[in-house]
Homo-oligomer: A and B are copies of this chain.
Amino acid sequence: MSGERKVRLGVIGSGKGSNFVALAQACRDAKLPAEIAVVLSDVAESGILKHAVDFGLPARFIAPGPFRTKLDESAESNYVTALREARVDLVVLAGFMRILKGGFLAAFPRRVINIHPALLPAFPGLASWKQALDHGVKVTGCTVHWVDQGIDTGRIIAQQAVPVLDGDTAETLHERIQQAERVLYPQTIGELIRKGVVKVAVA
């Protein structure tokens, strides 16, 4: 019976959820042949969870445990369980500020993607728009990539260039990159589905 349902996305984020909103709109407007099955966050008061509720989507805070930059083992297991219960075909990181370890990635082999606000391999890590501005580049952008255990090191799926303009501040540049992300992320996930790279795992 595979193929009778849409590809199910599990979105995980820590922040305001601008990429999530773009994905939810694209699914709702049938521009992206997928549905969002669940939205998870490690931040109880995050914008992404509020937006998920506004879209009428299942949304859950799952406590991350005591560490600042990763999930502890039981938290990781809770995330995996929630995604599996939601029968998620693709895990979509959207501003999730923690590193995923091998246990999580082994549960979703080649089914976890992320978007990073720079043209990787340039400027991995935090606040990459500020790194780019400080370095003085004239072109930066955003990158959709498979997630591996490194920090922004996974294989690149798609990239979009974004110009740095005279007079840009970290804020104006970040906003311009985020505008590009909100187009690139739904478009790239759509292409992965249409090409059959991402497909319905369990009918």
Number of copies of chain A assembled together: 2
Residue of B nearest to A142 (CB): B139
Complex alpha-carbon distance, A120 and B121, angstroms: 10
Which residues of chain A in 132-165 are interfacial with respect to chain B, using CB atoms and an 8 Å cutoff? 135-139, 141, 143, 155-161
A125, chain B: closest CB distance, angstroms: 14
A77, chain B: closest CB distance, angstroms: 32
Q: A121 — which chain B residues lie within 8 A by C-beta?
A: 122, 135, 137
CB atoms of B138 and A158 under 8 A apart: yes
CB atoms of A138 and B122 under 8 A apart: no
Complex alpha-carbon distance, A109 and B121, angstroms: 31
Complex alpha-carbon distance, A92 and B141, angstroms: 28
Q: A26 — which chain B residues lie within 8 A by C-beta?
A: none
Give how many A residues have a beta carbon under 8 Å from the other chain's beta carbons. 18
Q: A138 — which chain B residues lie within 8 A by C-beta?
A: 143, 156-159
Complex alpha-carbon distance, A200 and B171, angstroms: 38
Quick one: CB contact mask for A147-190 with B, threshold 8 Å, 1 for yes? Answer: 00000000111111100000000000000000000000000000
Complex alpha-carbon distance, A138 and B158, angstroms: 6
Partner of A161, one of B141, B156, B158: B141
A7 at the interface (CB under 8 A from B): no
A83 at the interface (CB under 8 A from B): no
Residue of B nearest to A188 (CB): B138
Residue contacts A-B, CB under 8 angstroms, 25 given: A119-B119, A119-B122, A119-B137, A119-B139, A120-B137, A121-B122, A121-B135, A121-B137, A122-B122, A135-B156, A136-B155, A136-B156, A137-B156, A137-B159, A138-B143, A138-B156, A138-B157, A138-B158, A138-B159, A139-B141, A139-B159, A139-B160, A139-B161, A141-B161, A161-B161
